[in-house]
Amino acid sequence: MNIERLRKLVELVGKQRLVLDLSCRKKDGRYTIVTDRWQKFSDVFVDKPTLEYLAAFADEFLVHGLGQVVTYAGGVSTMDDLERIKKAGKSRVDVTVGSALDIFGGDLPYKDVVLCHKKQSMVGQV
């Protein structure tokens, strides 16, 4: 991370408009921020002190932990897409749905997506 560039960005747009994306992988039992398509480990850990320090530069964090369930943003336009992602990802891939939803002007009914998510969340529960 280049803290000086981050400071300048905060001065330019304000921390309330920034979300820091922290991609991380586990190394020696701790989640470490990685770069270069998840290949280079930094010396920065995703822990309470780091998040408290970085909170001065952004109001939100988006943390991606490689090796855990993956959340993919985009690409969904039909209910069949949701089922394909579930099967292909062996239930280890989740997806966000945005502009395809009818509440944002798309054709995909929001209520159907919520119902599908609830059904998938109930699988395996008693």
Torsion of CA 58, 63, 98, 92, to 10 degrees: -170
Q: What is the pTM of this model?
A: 0.53
Lowest mean pLDDT among 17-21, 70-74, 102-106, 108-112: 70-74
* Helix, strand, or coil (residue 96): strand
Q: Tell me which residue range forms the domain holding 74.
A: 3-122
The total number of structural domains that make up the chain: 1
**87-99 residue pLDDT tens:** 887 877 778 888 8
Residue 126 has pLDDT above 50, yes or no: no
Cα–Cα distance measured from residue 71 to residue 34, given in angstroms and rounded to the nearest whole number: 17
Contact 64, 94 (CB under 8 A): no
